[in-house]
Structure 1
Amino acid sequence: MIVCVGVFCLSRKGNLALLQLLLNSGRVDADCKDGYGTTALMVASYSGHYESVRELIMQGADINLQRETGSTALFFASQQGHNEIVKLLFEFGASTEFRTKDGGTALSAACQYGHSKVVETLLKNGANVHDQLNDGATALFLASQEGHVTVIRQLLSSGAKVNQPREDGTAPLWMAAQMGQSEVVKVLLLRGADRDADRKDGSTALFKAAHKGHCNVIEELLKFSPSFGLLKNGSTALHAAVMGGDLKTVELLLKANADPALPNKNNELPEDLTKNERILRVLRLALLNAAS
């Protein structure tokens, strides 16, 4: 066990000379594991030590072994953006088919962290752009959530479905809008994302952006379509902005001609008010929510 720990330590630090010495001594198996199923090859791949990875492979390390979590050396190298190691692992038979317990793949990991060169290598070597996590999230969904525009373009060019939702109905555009990723929103809209698609709770990308106060996202959504939409419960983007208490967002929507006469169930506006009076009521309510 002590010798195995030594292999892990040398693999993590990239000390090739001592690693070779220990492996050549015959006192340790190249595939020795810790209590979680981690191998030295996984450690070296995660740490980005190309020569150590190569040495372990040449010493007979199994490239496709999985940790208890399901992660492989390829997964770790992809997650950390070590493209040359990813290429090396493919040279010796790494597979893109293995999944973690939550359904993650090397591609989903690379996309989540925005490693575009690794994404390119994975796609060239058979990674499936349509794979989903257990909750239904695709690689495109993960990249959209984190704002990785280059990766998003790569995935869409490789056939990723722009409107593929998670199991809860959340589409990549909705998630990008919630996270304030305006450039992602623009790219997704240009590639056919459904601006008015709603989640199972009925909220749309515009509604969520308004509630979160992401003015840049709202502007992109309104450029694509000037309509404001009406949620199933009667709420609008303006209501969402008021509830969020962000005055800039409220002002933006009012300037874009959002109708202040549309009340939600909790904030009924008297029918005899003028439009300006309704606007003032809306602004006052937003101020109250901002202060609370």
Structure 2
Amino acid sequence: MSKNNASLLEAARSGDIKRVQNFLSAGASPNVSDGDGTTALMFAANSGYTEIVRILIDSGANINYQRKSYGLTALMLACATNKLDIVRLLISKGADINSVNEDGSTALMIAALKGYSFIVQALVDAGANINLKDKDNDTALKLAVKQGHSAVVESLIKAQADVNIRDKDSETLLMLAAEKGYLGVIEALLTTNIDVNAQNNYGETALSIAVAAGYTSIVATLVNHNADVNIQDQDAETPLHIAVVEGFTEIVEVLLNGGADVNKRNKLGDTPLLVAALQGYSTIVKALIKQGADVEATNLQETPLTLATLQGNAETVKILLKNGANPNTQLQDGKTLLIEATKRNFKTITQELIAYGADINIQDGNSATALMWATSLGYFKVVEVLLEAGADINLKNRGGYTALMLAEFNNYPNILKILQAAGGE
């Protein structure tokens, strides 16, 4: 490289207009480039030296020359660094606005990815192809959606960009925005003819994705734009199922107000109430029941009350009982919920079941009562509750043992004492 050429590159890089003019006058090539193929024009465009860009172009610089590294042009570099005046200048001088680099990206894609809305608009106004795709199958609009650049999204939508493109998993732009939590982008997309209820390869919709991510405002926006609240994914999960699993109370309310079916079942056979009862989400349980959830819905012979009892969710148990759940529900082995509660030392649940009419003296397959179970396990407080409720002390199990005998056999003197005081034999 001649000394003049090297000096021109340095002058363009540093923004020295006078030296650029001098070296050009001295015979330096306006297309000189360094080892990476970066020309003087590229240096000036990247750094925002508008007058130097003008001088180099007027001196014959190749405006569409592509750098060896990544195939970038001066226009792409100006777009990447948000140099609007230079972008306009390059366009006016004939820059190829649809030229692509090694990744298949155009200047428009670069500006969209960065969120430079004014540059995007300048390129659109100049006739840029808005629906070109790069090697990742991304359009300028998709890149803007991915980054949450709502102003760019709006500009591209106005320019008639294709909003219904999908990826290999059939993900839509609306789904991408929902997953990221970009409310502004979603609002812009919803002004178009985009299919709000489109499903990907897994049966998910933008709504179900927003629900899973916990974006209440986005869920509400989608519901208000006619998103189907009862659509099911490949596991037959509705948005309501998903919200309940995650414990998103506010989203549950939004979905219920939007007409969600409270008794729909997933592939496992669970209703939202069964899931909520298992998780112990008492507020959600209450909301579901208020909307007509079946408190006696069963799956694998388990009811919401069964699940809540076995998990020790006392508040949920109380709500279910208050709303008509059967306190004498039996499990597959014949044990009642009262027996299961006593076996687990759940004093509060034992009290609630008794208060709502649980049969205190019912016997399981081995003729054991709740009192016998509590006694044999040494649960003094539960024994007290059962005695206060009038449990029959002298019933015998299949082996012929009474509760008092079990207390004596297991050496529980405190329990033995209160059983004797209650008349145990």
TM-score > 0.5, shorter chain as reference: yes
- Find the aligned partners of 2:254 and 2:162 in 1 and give their Cα distance: 30
Q: Would you say how many aligned residue pairs link Structure 1 and Structure 2? A: 275
TM-score, normalization by structure 2: 0.57
- CA spacing shift, 1:264–1:79, aligned 2, 3 Å: farther
* Selected match of 1:155 from 189, 192, 195: 189
Contact kept in structure 2, 1:4 and 1:28, CA below 8 Å:
no
**1:104-136 CA-partner distances (Å, limit 9, x unpaired):** 212222233333332232222221222223332
- Find the aligned partners of 1:14 and 1:133 in 2 and give their Cα distance: 36
Q: State the partner residue of 1:216.
A: 250
Q: Secondary structure at the match of 2:265?
A: coil
Unaligned ranges ≥5, structure 2: 1-32, 315-425
* Selected match of 2:163 from 129, 134, 140: 129
- Find the aligned partners of 2:69 and 2:295 in 1 and give their Cα distance: 61
- Find the aligned partners of 1:200 and 1:152 in 2 and give their Cα distance: 24
* Selected match of 2:208 from 161, 174, 177: 174
Contact kept in structure 1, 2:179 and 2:210, CA below 8 Å:
yes
- CA spacing shift, 1:283–1:155, aligned 2, 3 Å: farther
- Find the aligned partners of 2:203 and 2:166 in 1 and give their Cα distance: 14
Contact kept in structure 1, 2:274 and 2:307, CA below 8 Å:
no
CA shift, 1:24, in A, is 4.5
Structure having the higher Rg: 2
- CA spacing shift, 1:149–1:199, aligned 2, 3 Å: same
**1:200-241 CA-partner distances (Å, limit 9, x unpaired):** 233222222233333322221122125332102213335555
CA shift, 1:283, in A, is 4.9
Matched, 1:225 2:225: no
- Find the aligned partners of 2:215 and 2:266 in 1 and give their Cα distance: 22
Matched, 1:191 2:225: yes
TM-score, normalization by structure 1: 0.80
Contact kept in structure 1, 2:229 and 2:260, CA below 8 Å:
no
CA shift, 1:5, in A, is 5.8
- State the one-letter code of the partner of 2:265: L
Q: State the partner residue of 2:109.
A: 75
Unaligned ranges ≥5, structure 1: 286-292
- Find the aligned partners of 1:73 and 1:27 in 2 and give their Cα distance: 19
- CA spacing shift, 1:65–1:75, aligned 2, 3 Å: same
Matched, 1:62 2:96: yes
CA shift, 1:77, in A, is 1.6
Identity within the alignment, %: 32
- CA spacing shift, 1:226–1:29, aligned 2, 3 Å: closer
Q: State the partner residue of 1:15.
A: 49
Contact kept in structure 2, 1:147 and 1:184, CA below 8 Å:
yes
CA shift, 1:94, in A, is 0.4
- CA spacing shift, 1:103–1:204, aligned 2, 3 Å: farther
Aligned residue runs from structure 1 range 1-292, under 5 A: 1-2=33-34, 4=38, 7-26=41-60, 29-225=63-259, 227-228=261-262, 229-238=264-273, 250-256=281-287, 257=289, 262=297, 269=302, 275=305, 278-284=307-313
Q: Secondary structure at the match of 1:4?
A: coil
Q: Secondary structure at the match of 2:189?
A: helix
- Find the aligned partners of 1:136 and 1:143 in 2 and give their Cα distance: 14
- CA spacing shift, 1:117–1:39, aligned 2, 3 Å: same
- CA spacing shift, 1:117–1:226, aligned 2, 3 Å: closer
Contact kept in structure 2, 1:180 and 1:216, CA below 8 Å:
no
- State the one-letter code of the partner of 1:155: L
- Find the aligned partners of 1:220 and 1:85 in 2 and give their Cα distance: 39
- Find the aligned partners of 1:187 and 1:253 in 2 and give their Cα distance: 21
